[in-house]
Amino acid sequence: MSGPAPDGSDVLVTIPTFNERESLPGLVTRLLAALPGLRILVVDDGSPDGTGALAETIAAVEPRVRVHHHAPRAGLGAAYVDAFRRVLDGSCDAAAGVGWIVQMDADGSHAPEELPRLLAAAPDADVVLGSRYVPGGGTEGWAWHRRLLSRAGNVYSRRALALPLHDVTGGYRCFRRAALAGLEIPTVASEGYCFQVDVAFRVHRSGLRVREVPITFVEREHGESKMSGEVVREALWRITSWAVRDRVRRRRARPRR
């Protein structure tokens, strides 16, 4: 299979936003400098700081940018589900002719300059994951407890769901359009960051070809982290329930002696 066009003209980057007014303009500028041909879909989650209005201002003068206003504060997972649904069903005009869909954070923690390297791994993959936990990957600016929480959550998710991936909680990912369509994204119910684990689990069960490319995750310069105790509890509960159901399913599928 072929990979993305060198200038990114068949690539759409989806960026959910919630109170990202300070970081969004710079992120858009850096993305378009990294791959001038790509298109950007900003999915604003009802930001009270005016991020949605700012995104509309940017889109008014930049034809490569589109904006979708999602239901107020429905959560990261719901914003991605809505964005991907619009891309796949053709209701987003920016998705016309797109072969690759990228997801990334709006707070600057995912470097746009690394996107060409992720897409370079695409020709022999259905999904490319930007990974903090493969050789060459890492994090910058995190306190020790944040690193510990991320590592622990990643290890628990991998082991509970038997995932042969190094970074299942990261949010910098590239999907071949046909592969994304096969993941039944509209049925994803995860509201917080366990959306990333949910999709990784679906990717693995679907037998898609996955490449992990090292990235450096940089702590945000503006705004506040969306991570909270409620988000962690949701992830723990959902991942555990998926693991139990998957084990039951596999046990029932074993041939009886």
Asked whether residue 6 is assigned to any structural domain, the reply reads no
Asked whether residue 5 is assigned to any structural domain, the reply reads no
CA atoms within 13 A on the CB side of 105: 23
**pLDDT, tens digit, 9 for 90 and up, residues 166-182:** 999 999 999 999 999 99
Band of pLDDT at residue 146, cut at 50, 70 and 90: confident
- The model carries a pTM of 0.90
Asked whether residue 3 is assigned to any structural domain, the reply reads no
Tokens (6 digits) for 104? 């990334």
**227, pLDDT greater than 60:** no
* Nearest residue to 130 (alpha-carbon basis) of 152, 111, 108: 111
What is the structure's pLDDT at 149? 84
Asked whether residue 219 is assigned to any structural domain, the reply reads yes
* Nearest residue to 74 (alpha-carbon basis) of 185, 238, 199, 226: 226
Asked whether residue 257 is assigned to any structural domain, the reply reads no
Cβ atoms of 63 and 36 closer than 8 Å: no
Alpha-helical runs (H) found in 90-228: 115-120, 144-161, 177-181, 194-205
Q: Summarize the chain as % helix, strand, coil (round to 5).
A: 45, 15, 40
What is the structure's pLDDT at 104? 96
Asked whether residue 118 is assigned to any structural domain, the reply reads yes
**pLDDT, tens digit, 9 for 90 and up, residues 43-95:** 999 899 999 999 999 999 999 999 999 876 667 888 899 899 999 998 899 89
What is the structure's pLDDT at 230? 66
Band of pLDDT at residue 222, cut at 50, 70 and 90: low
Cβ atoms of 58 and 24 closer than 8 Å: yes
Count of structural domains within the chain? 1
Q: What are the CA-CA distances from residue 186 to residues 228, 234, 238 (Å)?
A: 25, 19, 17
H/E element, 77:
helix 76-89
Asked whether residue 1 is assigned to any structural domain, the reply reads no
Backbone CA torsion sign across 161, 164, 170, 173: negative
Domain with 139, as residue range(s), is 11-252
What is the structure's pLDDT at 186? 85
* Nearest residue to 208 (alpha-carbon basis) of 175, 173, 171: 175
CATH number of the domain within which 235 lies: 3.90.550.10
What is the structure's pLDDT at 237? 73
Asked whether residue 38 is assigned to any structural domain, the reply reads yes
In this prediction, residues 241-256 reach a mean pLDDT of: 71
